[in-house]
Amino acid sequence: MLEIRNIEKYYGSKNNVTKALDRVSFCVADGEFIAIMGASGSGKTTLLNCISTIDTVSAGDILLNGENIADLSAGELAGFRRERLGFVFQDFNLLDTLTIEENIGLALSLNHADPHMVRQRIEEISVKLGIVDILEKFPYQVSGGQKQRAACARAMVAGQSLLLADEPTGALDSRASKNLLEIMTQMNREMGATILMVTHDAYSASYARRVLFLKDGRIFNELLRGERSRSVFYHEILDILALLGGDISDVI
């Protein structure tokens, strides 16, 4: 579904170029759950921003369902984000003036969905994510975990095909993190959501089916979970991180 071909991204002026992404290539199949790991500055957020069309690449192609996103105009990109991509951010990014229900419905109204359908769609998804009870509340009245689940609901409610998550557990305590990751796994398995998650937390990454390791803008390694249990996979991730070098071990 998603194909990344030799993308490069440079920052800075002529004399002082920083290579944020260096010939990165990989594919994401329909219904996959991929985690991208790396230390701060390894280029993982840049990669996510390029895929999410918020940022542009310096070279290379990003194809989503065979469509090159570099060929789209600004207006088409906005439409593309609305219809195809769902976002989950570290700091939730819910509008605090809207109730949880309205935050979820916002994605639909941006898509000019039939207003009469909105309520029904919100109900469906919030039952699945276990947030029916908090729909009437405002973001400041609910917990971080609930906010993040609401963000997941917003990311999926308009039928987006690719869910992009940037450190989704970053602001959550360990119990809420576990809960969220289980929900994401459930979304992946039962609702067929394709998920691309950026994280520097090995525990979060262990929920994915495949983990890509990024270092200095390049793909350093790739790990597949296969049929192994999550705890075995977790330890394997830790082993790779140890190989990656000291700078990441301090965040584990």
Nearer to another protein by Cβ, of 119 and 235: the residue is 119
Residues 108, 157: contact at Cβ < 8 Å?
A: yes
How far apart are CB 109 and another protein at their closest, in Å? 4
Nearer to another protein by Cβ, of 52 and 199: the residue is 52
b/e 44-80 (16+ beta carbons within 10 angstroms → b) = bbbbbbbbbbeeebeebebbbeeeebbeeeeeebeeb
Which pair of structure tokens corresponds to residue 239?
Answer: 């082993």
Nearer to another protein by Cβ, of 116 and 175: the residue is 116
How far apart are CB 119 and another protein at their closest, in Å? 5
How far apart are CB 247 and another protein at their closest, in Å? 29
Nearer to another protein by Cβ, of 63 and 110: the residue is 110
- Residue 140: CB atoms within 10 A of its CB come to 8
How far apart are CB 33 and another protein at their closest, in Å? 22
How far apart are CB 94 and another protein at their closest, in Å? 9
Nearer to another protein by Cβ, of 99 and 179: the residue is 99
**Which residues lie near another protein (CB under 8 A)?**
52, 54, 74-75, 78-83, 85, 87, 93, 95-98, 102, 105-111, 113, 115-116, 118-119, 138, 140, 154
CA-based Rg of the chain, rounded to a whole angstrom?
18
